Amino acid sequence: MKKLQAFAAAALTLCTAAALAHGNEGHAAARTYDAAKVQDTAFGREGDPAKATRTIRVDMADTMRFTPANITVKRGETVRLVATNKGQVLHEMVLGTADELQKHAELMKKFPGMEHDEPHMAHVKPGKSGEIVWQFTQAGDFQFACLIPGHFEAGMVGKVTVSADDAAAPQSDGEVRKVDKAQGKLTLRHGPLKQFDMPAMTMVFRVADPKMLDGLKDGDKVKFTAEKVNGAFTVTAIQPAR
Ligand SMILES: [Cu+2]
């Protein structure tokens, strides 16, 4: 027990020093991205702000809730998570696996003064916003939570669903061979589709939305994005080639 207390005291001293070093505005300031320091985790890695394709805003409230509490991203996508504290007390957003967050929360209970500062977390003072730039590299279900003692236990947890559709499906060239509106199908003569490791050929695709077929006719040259949706080759975006 003595040993544990000594560790707790040391941890608190370190944390106080860290808090002072960060100053009052501290964590709200953007981190400096350094590709050489990025580490892979089970839930992704620190993202390059220059590659963020989307900003997702999440509000944090003293009711111990995140709004929205569910966010969805695609595998490989780099997003800017902006957490705004609408409450009167400190909140934080920490990304992780359900397991890791649970363990981290236990640790926070043991050492209440502990203040971590890692790329997958933002500590946000009342009325302020914090930011995490993150690339989700693994498909699956993950979480974000406020690990301030009592908050996590009160249910301040949200869910991140990372879909297995790769974010950056490349655009390909094609030429329309047949439009089948009744079946929601489109036959395209297409160039190589790197995402499937497929050479150029003519084949039938499903379309994500039958409306995408409006205005298309045989012989049209197009730029399109193909992805596998529920196992079927599907055109998820299409536009006339110019
Ligand atoms: Cu909180």
Instruction: Please report the DSSP string for 212-234 in residue order.
Output: GGTT--TT-EEEEEEEEETTEEE
Give me ligand 1 centre to Cα 8, in Å.
22
**Amino acid present at 123:** H
Query: In which band, very low, low, confident or very high, does the pLDDT at 32 lie, cut at 50, 70 and 90?
Result: confident
Note the pLDDT of residue 231: 81
CATH 2.40.50.320 residue spans of the chain: 171-240
Predicted local distance difference test score (pLDDT) of residue 85: 98
Between CA 81 and CA 55 the distance in angstroms is 6
User: pLDDT (tens digit, 9 = 90+) per residue, 143-176?
Assistant: 999 999 999 999 999 999 998 876 566 789 999 9
pLDDT of 22 strictly over 60: no
Residues 36-50 have a mean pLDDT of 91
CA 77–ligand 1 middle distance (angstroms): 26
How far apart CA 106 and CA 153 sit, in angstroms, is 10
| Greatest pairwise CA separation for the chain in angstroms | 80
Ligand 1 centroid to residue 5 C-alpha, Å: 26
Question: For residue 185, is pLDDT > 90?
Answer: yes
The Å distance, Cα 148 to ligand 1 centre, comes to: 6
pLDDT at 95 > cutoff 80:
yes
Cα(106)–Cα(149) distance, rounded to whole angstroms? 9
Euclidean distance between CA atoms 213 and 231, whole angstroms:
21
123 C-alpha vs ligand 1 centroid, how far in Å?
9
Q: What pLDDT, on a 0 to 100 scale, did the predictor assign at position 168? A: 61
The pLDDT of residue 169 is 67
Q: Where are the alpha helices (DSSP H) in the chain?
A: 2-22, 98-110
Give distance in angstroms: CA of 154 to centre of ligand 1: 9
Is residue 199 over pLDDT 60?
yes
pLDDT at 30: 59
CA dihedral over 62, 67, 72, 75, signed as positive or negative: negative
Q: How close is the Cα of 91 to the center of ligand 1, in Å? A: 4
pLDDT tens sequence across 119-143: 999 999 999 999 999 999 888 999 9
- Distance of CA 17 from the midpoint of ligand 1 (Å): 22
pLDDT band at 28 (very low <50, low <70, confident <90, very high): very low
Task: Compare 33 and 66 and report the one with higher pLDDT.
Answer: 66
Write down the mean pLDDT value for the chain: 85
Centroid of ligand 1 to alpha carbon of 197 (angstroms)? 46
Name every residue whose Cβ is closer than 8 Å to that of residue 108 and which is 6 or more positions away in sequence: 114, 147, 148, 149, 152
Architecture of domain 2-166: Sandwich (2.60)
User: The CATH number of 171-240 is which of 3.90.1150.10, 3.20.19.10, 2.40.50.320, 1.10.240.10?
Assistant: 2.40.50.320
Helix (H, G, I), strand (E, B) or coil at 191: coil
Boundaries of CATH 2.60.40.420 in the chain? 2-166
pLDDT of residue 8: 44
Q: Which residue has the higher pLDDT, 190 or 36?
A: 190
Is the pLDDT higher at 194 or at 122?
122
Q: Which protein residues have their CB within 5 A of the ion that is ligand 1? A: 91, 146, 148, 151, 156
Angle made by CA atoms 65, 70, 71, in degrees to the nearest 5: 130
Place 2 in a pLDDT band, splitting at 50, 70 and 90: very low
- Range in 82-86, 111-115, 237-241 with the lowest mean pLDDT: 111-115
